[in-house]
Amino acid sequence: MKLKLTRLNSGTDSTIGSLCIDQGLSTTDTYFTCEDEFRAVKVENETRIPSGTYEIKLRNEGGMTKRYANRFPDIHRGMLWLQDVPNFEWVYVHLGNTDEDTAGCILVGYSCSIDAISGGGTIGRSTEAYKDLYKKVVAAMDSGEKVTIEIG
Protein backbone atom coordinates (compact mmCIF):
# COMPACT_ATOMS: atom_id res chain seq x y z
CA MET A 1 0.00 0.00 0.00
CA LYS A 2 1.28 3.43 -0.89
CA LEU A 3 0.13 6.60 0.85
CA LYS A 4 0.86 9.92 -0.81
CA LEU A 5 0.96 13.20 1.12
CA THR A 6 0.94 16.41 -0.89
CA ARG A 7 1.69 19.52 1.13
CA LEU A 8 -0.71 22.25 0.05
CA ASN A 9 -0.37 25.27 2.33
CA SER A 10 2.66 25.94 4.49
CA GLY A 11 2.50 28.71 7.05
CA THR A 12 4.30 30.22 10.01
CA ASP A 13 2.93 27.63 12.47
CA SER A 14 1.59 24.69 10.46
CA THR A 15 1.35 22.90 7.13
CA ILE A 16 -1.90 21.60 5.63
CA GLY A 17 -1.78 18.73 3.17
CA SER A 18 -3.79 16.10 1.36
CA LEU A 19 -3.16 12.40 2.02
CA CYS A 20 -4.51 9.72 -0.28
CA ILE A 21 -4.19 6.01 -0.76
CA ASP A 22 -2.51 5.54 -4.14
CA GLN A 23 -4.02 2.66 -6.10
CA GLY A 24 -1.77 2.89 -9.16
CA LEU A 25 -3.72 4.78 -11.81
CA SER A 26 -6.21 6.18 -9.32
CA THR A 27 -6.33 7.46 -5.77
CA THR A 28 -8.94 6.68 -3.16
CA ASP A 29 -9.73 7.66 0.39
CA THR A 30 -8.48 11.21 0.68
CA TYR A 31 -7.75 12.81 4.05
CA PHE A 32 -6.41 16.19 5.13
CA THR A 33 -3.21 16.45 7.15
CA CYS A 34 -1.73 18.93 9.58
CA GLU A 35 1.98 19.09 10.37
CA ASP A 36 4.37 21.54 11.95
CA GLU A 37 5.85 24.23 9.74
CA PHE A 38 8.90 24.00 7.49
CA ARG A 39 12.20 25.08 9.03
CA ALA A 40 15.61 24.97 7.37
CA VAL A 41 17.11 24.10 10.75
CA LYS A 42 15.15 21.69 12.95
CA VAL A 43 13.62 23.05 16.15
CA GLU A 44 12.60 20.23 18.51
CA ASN A 45 8.81 19.62 18.44
CA GLU A 46 8.26 22.53 16.02
CA THR A 47 9.45 21.28 12.63
CA ARG A 48 7.81 19.08 10.01
CA ILE A 49 9.70 16.07 8.70
CA PRO A 50 11.61 16.25 5.39
CA SER A 51 9.99 15.25 2.12
CA GLY A 52 10.76 11.68 1.10
CA THR A 53 9.40 8.16 1.09
CA TYR A 54 9.19 6.26 4.38
CA GLU A 55 8.04 2.79 5.31
CA ILE A 56 5.33 2.60 7.97
CA LYS A 57 5.41 -0.10 10.65
CA LEU A 58 3.54 -0.64 13.90
CA ARG A 59 5.22 0.39 17.15
CA ASN A 60 3.96 -1.30 20.31
CA GLU A 61 5.95 0.59 22.93
CA GLY A 62 5.71 3.96 24.64
CA GLY A 63 3.11 6.12 26.32
CA MET A 64 1.26 7.08 23.17
CA THR A 65 0.78 3.40 22.28
CA LYS A 66 -0.80 2.78 25.69
CA ARG A 67 -3.11 5.81 25.42
CA TYR A 68 -4.31 4.76 21.95
CA ALA A 69 -4.79 1.14 23.07
CA ASN A 70 -7.04 2.39 25.87
CA ARG A 71 -8.91 4.79 23.59
CA PHE A 72 -9.36 2.34 20.68
CA PRO A 73 -9.27 -1.14 22.26
CA ASP A 74 -11.19 -2.71 19.38
CA ILE A 75 -8.69 -1.74 16.65
CA HIS A 76 -5.39 -0.53 18.09
CA ARG A 77 -2.35 -2.77 17.58
CA GLY A 78 0.43 -0.19 17.64
CA MET A 79 1.19 3.32 16.42
CA LEU A 80 1.63 3.97 12.68
CA TRP A 81 5.37 4.66 12.82
CA LEU A 82 7.42 6.18 9.98
CA GLN A 83 10.81 4.51 9.64
CA ASP A 84 14.22 6.11 9.17
CA VAL A 85 13.18 9.78 9.10
CA PRO A 86 16.43 11.79 9.05
CA ASN A 87 17.06 13.62 12.36
CA PHE A 88 13.69 12.52 13.83
CA GLU A 89 12.57 9.71 16.16
CA TRP A 90 9.13 8.28 16.84
CA VAL A 91 7.30 9.97 13.96
CA TYR A 92 3.69 8.76 13.84
CA VAL A 93 0.51 9.28 11.87
CA HIS A 94 -2.10 10.04 14.52
CA LEU A 95 -5.10 12.16 15.42
CA GLY A 96 -5.16 15.83 16.37
CA ASN A 97 -6.38 19.13 14.98
CA THR A 98 -3.64 21.77 15.19
CA ASP A 99 0.13 22.08 15.15
CA GLU A 100 -0.08 22.07 18.97
CA ASP A 101 -1.12 18.39 18.75
CA THR A 102 2.03 17.31 16.91
CA ALA A 103 5.75 17.23 17.53
CA GLY A 104 6.85 16.47 13.98
CA CYS A 105 4.14 13.85 13.41
CA ILE A 106 1.42 13.80 10.75
CA LEU A 107 -2.16 14.41 11.91
CA VAL A 108 -5.10 13.24 9.77
CA GLY A 109 -8.65 14.56 9.45
CA TYR A 110 -11.65 14.75 7.15
CA SER A 111 -11.96 18.55 7.02
CA CYS A 112 -9.60 21.51 7.07
CA SER A 113 -9.51 25.23 7.61
CA ILE A 114 -6.86 27.25 5.78
CA ASP A 115 -5.33 30.38 7.30
CA ALA A 116 -5.31 32.85 4.40
CA ILE A 117 -3.06 35.35 6.17
CA SER A 118 -0.27 33.34 7.79
CA GLY A 119 -0.70 30.09 5.85
CA GLY A 120 -1.14 26.64 7.32
CA GLY A 121 -4.36 25.94 9.19
CA THR A 122 -6.17 23.25 11.16
CA ILE A 123 -7.98 19.98 10.48
CA GLY A 124 -11.22 18.52 11.83
CA ARG A 125 -13.00 15.19 12.30
CA SER A 126 -9.63 13.70 13.11
CA THR A 127 -10.77 10.74 15.21
CA GLU A 128 -13.03 9.45 12.43
CA ALA A 129 -10.34 9.87 9.79
CA TYR A 130 -7.65 8.26 11.94
CA LYS A 131 -9.75 5.19 12.69
CA ASP A 132 -10.65 4.78 9.01
CA LEU A 133 -7.06 5.14 7.79
CA TYR A 134 -5.68 2.98 10.62
CA LYS A 135 -7.98 0.05 9.76
CA LYS A 136 -6.97 0.18 6.07
CA VAL A 137 -3.24 0.40 6.79
CA VAL A 138 -3.33 -2.46 9.31
CA ALA A 139 -5.39 -4.61 6.91
CA ALA A 140 -2.73 -4.06 4.23
CA MET A 141 0.02 -5.02 6.68
CA ASP A 142 -1.93 -8.12 7.72
CA SER A 143 -2.13 -9.20 4.07
CA GLY A 144 1.66 -8.94 3.78
CA GLU A 145 1.83 -5.61 1.96
CA LYS A 146 4.63 -3.18 2.63
CA VAL A 147 3.13 0.21 3.53
CA THR A 148 4.95 3.39 2.52
CA ILE A 149 4.19 7.10 2.61
CA GLU A 150 5.55 9.46 -0.02
CA ILE A 151 5.73 13.05 1.15
CA GLY A 152 6.23 15.85 -1.35
For position 137, what pLDDT does the model report? 97
Task: Write the pLDDT tens digit of every residue in 17-27.
Answer: 999 998 765 56
pLDDT of residue 24: 60
The full DSSP string for 70-96 is: HH-TTT-SSEEEE---TT--SEEEE--
**Whole-number pLDDT of residue 48:** 97
Task: State residue 108's pLDDT score.
Answer: 98
Domains in the chain, number? 1
Domain that holds residue 144: 2-151
Residue 118: predicted pLDDT: 86
Largest CA distance in the chain: 45
pLDDT score recorded for residue 144: 97
- pLDDT tens for each residue of 8-48: 999 999 999 999 998 765 566 899 999 999 999 999 999 99
How far is C-alpha 107 from the geometric centre of its chain's CA atoms? 4
pLDDT averaged over every residue in the chain: 94
Output phi, psi for 86, to 5 deg: -55, 130
Q: Give yes or no for a contact between 30 and 20, defined as CB atoms under 8 angstroms apart.
A: yes
Given a cut of 70, the residues of the chain with pLDDT beneath it are 24-28
Q: Reduced to 3 states, what is the DSSP secondary structure of residue 43?
A: coil
pTM for the predicted model, two decimal places: 0.94
Helices (H), the chain: 63-71, 126-142
Contacts of 118 (CB under 8 A, 6+ apart): 11, 12, 13
